[in-house]
Amino acid sequence: MLVAEDRALDLASLSSVRDFAKGVLDRHERLDVLVNNAGVMAIPHRTTADGFEMQLGTNHLGHFALTGLLFERLLAQPGSRVVTVSSTAHRGGRINFQDLQSERRYSRWGAYGQSKLANLLFTRHLACRVRDSGHALVVAACHPGWAATNLQFAGARMDGSRVIETLAAVANRLFSQDAATGALPTLYAATAPGVASGDYIGPDGFAETWGYPTKVGSSLRARDDEAARRLWGVSEALTGVHYPALRP
């Protein structure tokens, strides 16, 4: 029997992440799938409870910590998967190791692109280390294309900009697919047979904006193994979360 369970989780607070992970581990002896899909997009500059830039902290560091805290339970279940939701915006992203928290200069779209690129670098490095350690866990990524959700309105509402909010609503009506269709790549990555570690799943339509799930490509920066390794080390240091089951 399938039982739904709601639990509070704030990916912008490492304390909340730790409390959530402890609650899951205390109540559940097995984990089959972890979907890292929390996201904030193009918002005014904010910081998390731990002082991280909000988009990097929520979209990447919170997920890095959550995955690490649940990792050994996932490894114990044959056929388990970790799926992290990225975005086509990763293609414009750069990891600025000299100003990772955007303390010198903040660009809302630059910070978003950086966080979505971080999602793919995390997936790549985790998949490689899982493989090298001899585990069968599947580590994949996905993106929804352009799905009509509240994500497009958050930044405008935080700014109090009715004009931008109206433009976002018009763009959603003209160019987006509905939220249910946008969720299909995530469901595919989490459940479909044949998904392999390192796969990136997105819509098959024009510019990966809409359509049905298929394997898609990523930018050259998303395949930079040195950047992925470096980001992993920085993420461990910032979150205090490590993955002892994996080879260095």
Phi, psi of 101 (to 5 degrees): -95, 10
pLDDT at 100 > cutoff 90: yes
The answer to whether residue 1 is domain-embedded is: no
The answer to whether residue 160 is domain-embedded is: yes
Residue 72 burial (CB count, 10 A): 13
| Beta carbons within 8 Å of 70's beta carbon, 6+ residues apart | 21, 24, 25, 31, 34
Alpha-carbon distance of 22 to 8, in angstroms, equals 12
More confident residue, 40 or 163: 40
The answer to whether residue 138 is domain-embedded is: yes
pLDDT at 203 > cutoff 80: yes
What confidence tier does 170 reach under pLDDT thresholds 50, 70, 90?
low
CATH number of the domain bearing residue 113: 3.40.50.720
Alpha-carbon distance of 142 to 185, in angstroms, equals 6
Per-residue confidence (pLDDT) for residue 29, from 0 to 100: 93
* 0.85 exceeded by pTM: yes
How far apart are the two ends of the chain, measured CA to CA in Å? 40
Count of structural domains, the chain:
1
Catalytic residue chosen out of the listed positions 106, 112, 200, 243: 112
pLDDT at 244 > cutoff 80: yes
The answer to whether residue 4 is domain-embedded is: no
Residue type, 11: L
**What 8-state DSSP symbol labels residue 60?**
I
Alpha-carbon distance of 34 to 26, in angstroms, equals 16
- What domain range is 103 assigned to? 14-239
The answer to whether residue 25 is domain-embedded is: yes
- What is the mean predicted confidence (pLDDT) over 161-179? 71
The answer to whether residue 229 is domain-embedded is: yes
The answer to whether residue 139 is domain-embedded is: yes
HEC secondary structure over 166-182: HHHHHHHHHHCECHHHH
The answer to whether residue 35 is domain-embedded is: yes
More confident residue, 90 or 157: 90
Per-residue confidence (pLDDT) for residue 2, from 0 to 100: 58
Task: Note if 112 is an active site residue.
Answer: yes
More confident residue, 5 or 135: 135
